[in-house]
């Protein structure tokens, strides 16, 4: 049972080679993984892209139509930056002050429930959410790019207060803290990621694990509560770039920050608007 000092609010790397072989020379330059480019070139370009990937079948049209219907229903409370696929039976609840953001080429599996009472739910580009999953937030749930979330997984960023024994639990309010899933993460079947937990990039969470504390980058965690059972090798040629944090040429960094802000309707930071003196 989680506790928090904040008041409740009303419900609303690899080891050395033992063989002694010479160390390998420098590897290839890092492949900096940024989100896929936004759709450009209009409908014709999009159709060509879909044909190359065998995505012109009737099933994909139905999945895309569901996303369009969702946009028509909720307006600015649902935001896309490209095509997204929503399977049958997916249930959305989006409050008047809430936003759901689905990255391009993301996939939401059958009968998944997305309940954004308040705050933000964000699913990154090319991430796949399995069947019968639950995402429920009063503050923020973020799932990074190219993640795999197995069926019946659960992400919840709030707990009910139980501070007063003589009051009904349902009337005692809730505690909230964001849930954050990094990039290239695999969440196993039936896992639960609870309030305040962060799962780092390239991590794996085992089947039926209950994540209540942070899982480091490249870790494998399992159990209830989840504990790190081993570490994966850190990728040597793949870098997950965040334009706000990763060292880049300043001009390129500012361009990426501006694009990110425009894509999601966020205010552009002042430093990203200032011109960069060319060397």
Q: What angle do CA 195, 197, 202 make, to 5 degrees?
A: 145
Q: Please, are residues 25 and 189 in contact by the beta-carbon 8 Å criterion? A: no
Contact between residue 127 and residue 103 where contact means Cβ atoms under 8 Å apart: yes
Among the listed residues 49, 91, 117, 160, the single catalytic one is 160
Work out whether strand 154-156 and strand 198-199 pair parallel, antiparallel, or are unpaired: unpaired
- Annotated active-site residue 40? The verdict is no
- Burial zone of 214 (CB within 10 Å; 0-12 exposed, 13-18 middle, 19+ buried): middle
Token pair recorded at residue 146 = 């190219």
Could you give the CA distance from residue 205 to residue 219 in angstroms, rounded to a whole number?
A: 8
Q: Catalytic site residues?
A: 160
């Amino acid at each position: 049972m989680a506790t928090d000092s904040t008041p409740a609010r009303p419900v609303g790397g690899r080891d050395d080679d033992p063989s002694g072989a010479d160390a390998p020379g420098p590897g290839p330059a890092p492949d900096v993984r940024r989100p896929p480019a936004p759709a450009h070139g209009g409908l014709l370009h999009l159709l060509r892209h879909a044909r190359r990937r065998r995505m012109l079948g009737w099933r994909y049209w139905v999945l895309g139509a569901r996303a369009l219907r969702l946009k028509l229903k909720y307006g600015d409370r649902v935001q896309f930056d490209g095509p997204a696929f929503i399977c049958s039976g997916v249930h959305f609840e989006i409050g008047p002050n809430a936003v759901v953001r689905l990255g391009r080429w993301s996939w939401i599996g059958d009968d998944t429930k997305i309940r954004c009472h308040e705050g933000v739910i964000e699913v990154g580009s090319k991430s796949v959410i399995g069947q019968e999953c639950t995402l429920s937030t009063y503050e923020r749930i973020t799932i990074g790019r190219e993640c795999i979330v197995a069926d019946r997984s659960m992400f919840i960023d709030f707990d009910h207060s139980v501070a007063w024994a003589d009051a009904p639990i349902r009337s005692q309010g809730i505690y909230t803290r964001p849930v954050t899933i990094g990039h290239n993460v695999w969440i196993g079947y039936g896992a639960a990621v609870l309030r305040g937990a962060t799962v780092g990039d390239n991590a794996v969470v085992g089947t039926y694990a209950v994540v209540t504390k942070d899982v480091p980058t490249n870790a494998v965690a399992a159990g209830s509560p989840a504990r790190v059972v081993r570490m994966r090798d850190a990728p040597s040629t793949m870098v997950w770039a965040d334009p706000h944090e990763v060292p880049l040429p300043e001009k390129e960094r500012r361009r990426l920050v501006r694009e990110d802000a425009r894509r999601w309707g966020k205010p552009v930071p002042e430093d990203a608007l200032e011109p960069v003196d060319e060397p």
